[in-house]
Structures are given as structure tokens and as C-alpha cells.
Structure 1
Amino acid sequence: MTTKALATVLVACGLSAAACGGGAAAAGPARDAEPAPRAANPVTAPNGPAAETAPATPARTTPPAAGTTSAKPLSGKTVVIDPGHNGANYKYPAKINKQVDVLTQRKACDTTGTATNSGYSEAAFTWDVSRRLEKILESRGATVKLTRHGNNGVGPCITERAAIGNKAKADASISIHADGAGPADHGFHVIIPKKIGGPVDPVVADSRRLGIDVRNAYRSGTGIPYSTYIGAKALSFRSDLGGLNLSTVPKIFIETGNMRNAGDAAKLESPEFRQRIATALANGLQTYLR
């Protein structure tokens, strides 16, 4: 092969590893593998090394124009974020206690949520984390919709929260919460829907994949351990939550920690740690969506 021909082949391979005979990337760990804790870092999708063998007819023989940038990793994806509860729910018990049909039973339209011992409310926490998560996802190219628009209102009902994700045809939906268990209980867990003979059934498998990806990213990104009091390896499967039962898009809940536990509460009350939480959740969503 002449020097000129060899150079042409190397350019082609550098531009398209797959076109140069590269095989599929080696399979990663199973989705339910348990990751070791590490510092939170945004998920990236680096290009793999070019394959060494050139094709007979390369797909491209010229480099991209100067200044060309790759698409953002979540371009074209829609994510619905559901910040649990609302800041004024406690003022309107008649509204939030109104019973609604969640298919497996009837439940209150919404609840007030819990709070830390120092009075930091779950509603304020979920709103703050959701806004942080919204910014990260948008910076990565996603279209983001929230189920509420502030922390001084009421509701919406759990049925409406599911409907918002359905109407948006979300690629993924996540409901953000923090638990109010006993003070000795700690850790986080992810809630995944079960089949109930209803609208959620077709997306139960995808919701499970979403839940495992978010669980893994949350554990490695925040260092918060798996729940000591509910679920197996931080996964809990339920059929009594209207926000899941009525969803026609892949959806999960995450209880990010226990607000009644002093150690968990200290983390959830920290603005810096809430940013880590948001980044970890974004990374889990991106892993699922890419």
C-alpha cells in the first residue's frame, strides 16, 4: 500500500470506528449490579478508540467541518419530574384528603409529606432537588416538565401527576420524595410499579430498568446506603401508588433518604448535598435514556 493510500485509510478509521470493522462494545455489568460508592460525576458518552482495520469503502473520507459539535446526550428526550407533595398542602386538608381512584384502591388526593426534626419540609426539599435536576437535564439537551410550578400551592392530586407524564409522552418520569420512617432507619430506596391489569402494565419492565439505573447512580453519586428498613437492595415493588398505577410511561419514585434520621437529614438539608443528589439522579436518568 502506498503512503498516500495508508493515510487515507487511517483518516477514515479515525472518523468511524464502527465502519472500520470495530465490533460492539463489551457488555457492561448487569443493571442490578451493586456499584461501589464514588464521587458524583456527570455521565458522559466518550467515543471509543478507532478500530485498526479499514473497510474497503470507508463511510467518510473527510473530517467534520471546523467548529462542529456533537449533539447533547439527551437531545430529543422528554423527562417529567414530579416533586412530591406541595408547600401549602397542610393548609387545605379538605382538598388533599379528597379520595381518588388509583385502580387498586381509593386514596387521598395528596399528602403533606414529612419534615426533618429542624422543620425542613419534604415539600421544600423535593422542590429544590427537582429544580436542580431540571437545570442539569436541560443542560444535557432534554425537554423537562414539572408536575408543579412552585412550593406554595396545593397538589396536584396523584392522579393528575400521572396524567402530566402521560400527556407529555415522557421517555422517563421520576417522582422525588424523602421518607419519614423511624429515627433509627436510614438509607434510600426506589419504588417500582407492579402489573395490576391496568395502564402501567406495558411499562413495568422499562420502569424496572429505570429504577435500577437510578438506584445505581444514586448510590455511587451520593454514598447514601441502601435502605435498612424497606425493599431488597433498595428496590421496592408496589401496586398502591396512583402516580405509578396510572402511568403509561416508564416511571419510578425515589425516597432519597429518611428525614427522621439525623444522619440522613443532615445531608438532605445541605444545599451542596442536594446538588449531588440532583446530579446523581440526572446520571441515572441519562444511563437509562441513552
Structure 2
Amino acid sequence: MTGSTSRPPRRRSALLRATTVVAAVVPLCTAGWLGWRALDDSGPAGATAAPPGAVQSTTQAPATPEAPPTGGTPTGTPAATGTPSGTPSETPSGTPTGTPTAAPGGTADLAGRTVVLDPGHNPGNFAHPTEINRQVDIGNSRKECDTTGTETDSGYTEADYTLDVSRRARALLTARGAKVVLVQDGDRAWGPCIDERAKVGADAHADVAVSVHGDGGPASGSGFHVIMPAKVVAGKADNSAIVEPSHRLGLLLRQHFHDATDEPYADYIADEGLDTRSDLGGLNLSTVPKVFIECGNMRNSVDARRMTDPQWRQQAAQGIVDALTAFLTAH
């Protein structure tokens, strides 16, 4: 979850627990919110992560109860603790079941291309408030290392959602011949910090990167939106080379995500599902084309019902992969 610089900051809910998901396959997808408050890559600007066990809701509970996931039940098992691994995962471990969709014509049209997928937050963040509250330099300001993210009223967390969708997208991209690097694959106790997340793209010599999120907006709002980088040349940040290609990627992601899921643009974002930001470390510090996608508002009962459905998450992954494929094969 992220937020808009044009709206007052709002607080993300802390995680009560983390959940992992055993997935299924078939279509139908998501939508998100962000432009309600000024956040860093994973939480409100200047916010302090809540201590373990505390849950803060930014909105009232949805009027309609959320339906349980179909095709699988989250286990609720938090990420393992211990010494975090500093090496992003490139292996397909934990890939949801199902047959990935190959590229059009069955060709491996992404052979030789490298994609970074950045699953927002981490299921273990709630247990590491000191580490994730540490301030890091994002060029034009300082922000928290990371935050806990949001969750549905039934307790399905953003961190579990983003990891599941990223793993599904990895399977689809791999089937198309791409090399895929996950910033974290449930293999770290917390984080990584937003500046480290941005650096993974350069370290992997990636062609493109996408950060996957779910939003924590007002319960009345629904829909998805894409966040693109504003030009930032300040301090350690200089993303001027990636602004234009990132905007092209953002337009493709909006189109293909909508086509794959039939989801509307977020009804609380002014620019029809697009937002341009200068306050996100993951975009300010990136040296490869990168955008964020807020796949849905987890505080909205309708969006929450979709996001807890494995079939819906497969459609979300398909839309992301189709956009990346279009971007990488266009030039």
C-alpha cells in the first residue's frame, strides 16, 4: 500500500498475522487505492510501524462480510524469523499450482530478458518494528525502511497477497522465457528496506521492474491504479533516465490489467487509474524502468472478496505479465 502526496496521510493497519496461500488457476482480478495519503513505498509518510499485536484500521469495517478464499485456505503461518538473507530469489519455489499461459504462438519471446518483481512488504515486518522504522535516504527525503502493509477485515494481509501474485507472475514469465528475480520470496525475516528494493533492479541488470501492492484506502473506494515515477534529481536519487519508459510501462500495465480482469480504474484516483509520485523510494532510486500497481483496496468488501480468491489472483498475475511482455517486446 502506498499513498498520494496530494492527500493527507493515513495510517496502514499493522499485521495481526501473516498468511500464505495455496493457489489455483482461472481468471478474474483486482483493483487498488493509494491516492488518499502521503506514504512511502509501504506505508504513510512519517508513520511509525505499530508494535506486534496492535491493529489500526484506517477505515470502518465494510458493510458486506468478505467471502472466504476459494480453491484454498490461507495457513496463517508467519514468515520464518532468523537472519535475513540478502540474496533475492530466482528459483520457482512456492509457485502456485496451475499451468502458466505461454506467450502468444507458444514462443519464448522473453528469452534473454530479466524482470524484477517486488512483492510489497513482508509477512514478518510486524515482529520487527525497530528494523522497519529505521529511516533511509530516498534522495529528496527520508522514509521508513518498510511498513507492515494493510489487510482485509478478515485478516488476509497485503504481504501475503503480494507474494502470492508475484509468484504466479513469475511462473507465467518463466514460461515465456524470461529470467525472473523476486526482491523477496518469503525467505527473509523482515523487509528488505525500500532503498535495497530499488537497488535489486540494478544488481540484476534487469530490463524492467514492477512492485506489487494491495491498497488500504477508505472502505467506500474500489478499483486498481498504477503509480509511475516523477522525475527526481536530488541527493542520491537521479531517476531521469527511467521516467519516460516507466510511464510507457504504466500505460501498458493499466491497459492489460484492465483487459485481463475487467476491473475498473480506482474511483478515488483522479487520473483514471494513474498516479505520478515523487515520494516513493522504490521509484526515486530505481535505475531501471519501474512502476507500482495497487491491485485493489483491501479495506473495501468487494475488492477484498476478490483478492482472497486464488482464481482472481491468477487473473491479476496474467494482467501484469501481459503488460510486461508488451513492454519488453515493443523495443
Above 0.5 in TM-score? yes
Contact residue 101 and residue 175 of structure 2 kept, 8 A: no
- Which amino acid is the alignment partner of residue 230 of structure 1? I
**Cα shift at 1:43:** 8.0
Alignment-derived partner of residue 87 in structure 1: 123
Secondary structure in structure 1 of the residue aligned to 2:242:
helix
Say which of 238, 258, 276 aligns to 2:297: 258
Is residue 283 of structure 1 aligned with residue 322 of structure 2?
yes
Secondary structure in structure 2 of the residue aligned to 1:215:
helix
**1:263 to 1:39, Cα distance in 2 relative to 1, 3 A:** closer
**Cα shift at 1:42:** 5.4
**Cα shift at 1:149:** 2.3
Alignment-derived partner of residue 221 in structure 2: 185
Secondary structure in structure 2 of the residue aligned to 1:95:
helix
- Which amino acid is the alignment partner of residue 159 of structure 1? D
Secondary structure in structure 1 of the residue aligned to 2:287:
coil
Contact residue 87 and residue 152 of structure 1 kept, 8 A: no
Contact residue 108 and residue 177 of structure 2 kept, 8 A: yes
Contact residue 196 and residue 239 of structure 1 kept, 8 A: yes
Unaligned runs of 5+ in 2: 1-26, 30-99
Q: Deviations over 1:142-178 (max 9, x none)?
A: 0000001216620000000000111112111000000
**Cα shift at 1:128:** 0.4
Alignment-derived partner of residue 276 in structure 2: 237
Structure with a larger share of its residues in helix: 1
Considering Cα pairs closer than 8 Å and 6+ residues apart, tell me whether 1 or 2 has the greater RCO.
2
**1:118 to 1:282, Cα distance in 2 relative to 1, 3 A:** same
Unaligned runs of 5+ in 1: 1-37, 47-69
Distance 1:200 1:242 in 2: 11
Secondary structure in structure 2 of the residue aligned to 1:206:
helix
**1:271 to 1:71, Cα distance in 2 relative to 1, 3 A:** closer
Contact residue 188 and residue 224 of structure 1 kept, 8 A: yes
Contact residue 39 and residue 221 of structure 1 kept, 8 A: yes
Q: How high is the sequence identity, in percent, across the aligned residues?
A: 47
Alignment-derived partner of residue 76 in structure 2: none
**Cα shift at 1:202:** 0.5
Alignment-derived partner of residue 311 in structure 2: 272
Distance 1:44 1:82 in 2: 22
What pairs with 1:1-290 in structure 2 (closer than 5 Å)?
44-45=103-104, 71-150=107-186, 153-197=189-233, 198-290=237-329
Q: Deviations over 1:7-55 (max 9, x none)?
A: xxxxxxxxxxxxxxxxxxxxxxxxxxxxxxx979958555xxxxxxxxx
Question: RMSD over aligned Cα, in angstroms?
Answer: 1.8
Q: For the pair shown, which has the larger CA radius of gyration, 1 or 2?
A: 1
- Which amino acid is the alignment partner of residue 259 of structure 2? S
- Which amino acid is the alignment partner of residue 182 of structure 2? L
Contact residue 257 and residue 323 of structure 2 kept, 8 A: yes
**1:231 to 1:168, Cα distance in 2 relative to 1, 3 A:** farther
- Which amino acid is the alignment partner of residue 260 of structure 2? G
Structure 1 ranges of 4+ moved more than 4 A = 38-46
Alignment-derived partner of residue 40 in structure 2: none
Secondary structure in structure 1 of the residue aligned to 2:154:
coil
- Which amino acid is the alignment partner of residue 175 of structure 2? S
Contact residue 129 and residue 278 of structure 1 kept, 8 A: yes
Alignment-derived partner of residue 32 in structure 2: none
**1:43 to 1:216, Cα distance in 2 relative to 1, 3 A:** farther
- Which amino acid is the alignment partner of residue 149 of structure 2? G
Distance 1:261 1:43 in 2: 33
Contact residue 218 and residue 299 of structure 2 kept, 8 A: yes
Distance 1:119 1:45 in 2: 38
Distance 2:125 2:211 in 1: 17
Report the number of matched residues. 230
Distance 1:273 1:225 in 2: 14
Secondary structure in structure 1 of the residue aligned to 2:271:
coil
Distance 2:189 2:269 in 1: 30
